[in-house]
Structure 1
Amino acid sequence: MSNALVEVRDLAKIFDVSPPWLNRVVERKPKAFVHAVDGVSFSIEKGKTLALVGESGCGKSTVARLLVGLYKPTQGQVRFDGADTAQTLAGPGGQALRRRMQMIFQDPYASLNPRWKVQDIIAEPLREHGLVSKPEALRERVGELLRSVGLSPVDAEKFPHQFSGGQRQRISIARALATQPEFLVCDEPTSALDVSVQAQVLNIMKDLQRQQGLTYLFISHNLAVVRHVADQVGVMYLGRLVEVADKAQLFSAPRHPYTRMLLDAIPDIHMTGRARTPVQGEVPNPLNPPSGCSFHPRCPHANARCKSERPALSEFKGVRVACHAVEEGRI
């Protein structure tokens, strides 16, 4: 896609979770591997938001860390503005690339250094990338960044423990914006916050996107949040993408049975008479995933082919979906 800022091709990450060597010898157990991300491909256009959703443990956060270079991919490629990020980060252009892509972490209580003042927390990327060095200019820039996220320049002299959760997450956003990035990876940035505070933080993020033309990868398990922020939605299950569609299309006509199951579980004020359907079954053990389509043990439409053959993510009426039942017209 010519207008894509970020392109991910067949991305995979395998973790070795084997017990220590001596334990394996004594218990006669083989090595154990988890396919946290298993052949994921997508692209994000400039100025747009792609949201990745799914149950805990489906690989969303691993994708986020792979995109910003915190993990090295086992296989596949991440391209940013046409260049391979793994090669760029390993070469002389690595620092310039890191300046263009930043990450907002899930827990505002853990991602800020409790011993540092807000001034030092937000000024760190400015110093690290050599953008501002003089103390007066640093103070002024930190004040601007705090104002951009709805805080006061006076807050620069406080410590993280003096703020609420929502205010801490705003500080995290200000730190991420310090290098004037083009691409922000947001790993469940509002999941640790109250609902009213979530709305404030999401509105700030939407305003910043409009003002600065930011591109977001937004990780979430909350479909109500996704509906508010996303342009496109990717649904993940056990390390794989099962459906990718525009937001309006995904919410109005979900294709994959897993997407339907997630949407059925959302309370709807306009359908108060309808019994709410909980998400059926449990996510399988990633150390021993099911054969064929990994969703088949929980799927009401599964047949023999689903149990033996893994579906590929293919185009179907403008939606990318990995499902034999959809492909064969059974649903």
Structure 2
Amino acid sequence: MSATTDHAPGRSGDVTSAGTPVVQIRGLVKDFPVGGLFSRATFRALGGVDLDVRRGEILALVGESGSGKSTIARCVARLEQPTSGTLRVDGVDVLRTEPRRASRAYRAKVQMVFQDPFGSLNPAHRVEHFLTRALRLHRRTASAVALRSRLAELMDTVDLDRALLDAYPHELSGGQRQRVAIARALAVEPEVILADEPTSMLDVSVRIGILNLMRRLRDERGISLLYITHDLAAARYVADRTTVMFAGEVVEAGESTALMADPAHPYTQLLLSAVPDPQRAGTFDPAERAALRAQVLGATTCPYAADGRCRDDSPVHHAVAPGWTVRCHLYRPQTEVARRALDVAGTSNA
């Protein structure tokens, strides 16, 4: 089902001083066939998602496995064909102008960095091959001298020794392989990088280097990044804004630090309850959290809505604060006066 907005002036998607949207997703639906060749059954992975990635920002997309995070990235990268909805890049509806497959020009704008750096690099080729192939396919160099110069520049950008151009993937560490994957994405000078859990397979000691590299690409080059992660601490550290996904829909979105300091949606609270925190009062009770998870996910009545309203009336996005929205009945304006007050607050803080 598609999420609509109920007088929420600060909802995700509005243009703010943080930058104009380079990627605009509206009502994105993705169904996957299930049950075999002759079955007509489908599974809805995305249920009408609205999402913007602004210019020069890092947007974190968080949620449990199966919430639809990677499916969004694969649809934006045109590795999956959405069932319906619109996808605009630089204001152009690419699903209409390029309905079947993405053009080379589109792939130069939008690049993807996958979770497993070893799986995305052919073990039979050296690092130089991966970068050279990207440059030549997109015609980014005109001569052998320019090619060598560009290769050296890319290695410097991702903080790798130029001597590693002659190395094979198995000769590199996990962090080095991921930096090569990022260098390959940068070779075509993209506007947007889709980073699908780029640090999840790396040692903790090297994750911070990749996160800092992402921040540097944003700050120095103005590249927009959609950062998909399970690591809420990393999202808070690196992302300007965070969007929380649940069951194929956006349930909360806002500025990262504020959202994680005081999450509004019960599901976001549930996610943060699993983050180790030695300063948190009390002890972590797995049984108690399992019961809360069952309630929030709809197996029983939500503890925050005893009347079961969510089962009968799908919630829409409401403004918690300017630029911060939550899809929950708890924040539903009760009167028209309250709605107008939200509009005035959003206008005065825009």
Are residue 314 (structure 1) and residue 298 (structure 2) matched?
no
Which of 292, 299, 303 aligns to 1:300? It is: 303
Corresponding residue of 1:16: 33
Q: Which amino acid in the other structure matches residue 110 of structure 1?
A: G
Contact (CA 8 Å) 2:296, 2:303: kept in 1 or not? Answer: no
Provide, for residues 54-87 of structure 1, a one-character-per-residue CA deviation record: whole Å limited to 9, x for no partner. Answer: 0011110000011121111111111111111223
- Tell me the distance in 2 between the aligned counterparts of 1:283 and 1:56: 14
Question: What's the offset of the Cα at 1:167?
Answer: 0.6
Which of 264, 269, 276 aligns to 2:284? It is: 276
Are residue 58 (structure 1) and residue 63 (structure 2) matched?
no
Question: What's the offset of the Cα at 1:169?
Answer: 0.3
* TM-score (normalizing by structure 1): 0.87
Corresponding residue of 2:210: 201
Structure 1 segments (4+ residues) deviating >4 Å: 90-93, 281-284
Q: What does residue range 27-42 of structure 1 map to in structure 2 within 5 Å?
A: 31-42=40-51
Provide, for residues 212-259 of structure 1, a one-character-per-residue CA deviation record: whole Å limited to 9, x for no partner. Answer: 111111101110110111111110011111111111220122110000
- Tell me the distance in 2 between the aligned counterparts of 1:90 and 1:328: 40
- Tell me the distance in 1 between the aligned counterparts of 2:265 and 2:90: 31
Contact (CA 8 Å) 2:266, 2:296: kept in 1 or not? Answer: no
Q: What does residue range 62-211 of structure 1 map to in structure 2 within 5 Å?
A: 62-90=71-99, 94-211=103-220
SS of equivalent to 1:38: strand
Provide, for residues 86-130 of structure 1, a one-character-per-residue CA deviation record: whole Å limited to 9, x for no partner. Answer: 234459993222211111111111111111110011111111111
Percentage of identical aligned residues? 40
Which is worse superposed, 124-133 or 229-238? 124-133
Corresponding residue of 1:325: 330
Q: Which amino acid in the other structure matches residue 282 of structure 2?
A: R
Which of 237, 256, 277 aligns to 2:265? It is: 256
- Tell me the distance in 2 between the aligned counterparts of 1:20 and 1:181: 38
Change in 2 beyond 3 A, CA 1:19/1:186: same
Contact (CA 8 Å) 2:270, 2:293: kept in 1 or not? Answer: no
Alignment RMSD: 2.3
- Tell me the distance in 2 between the aligned counterparts of 1:109 and 1:124: 17
Change in 2 beyond 3 A, CA 1:71/1:190: same
Any gaps of 5 or more consecutive residues in structure 1?
22-29, 285-292
RCO higher in structure (CA 8 A, sep ≥6): 2
- Tell me the distance in 1 between the aligned counterparts of 2:245 and 2:158: 31
Question: What's the offset of the Cα at 1:6?
Answer: 1.2
Q: How many residues align?
A: 312
Q: Which amino acid in the other structure matches residue 307 of structure 1?
A: R
Are residue 219 (structure 1) and residue 228 (structure 2) matched?
yes
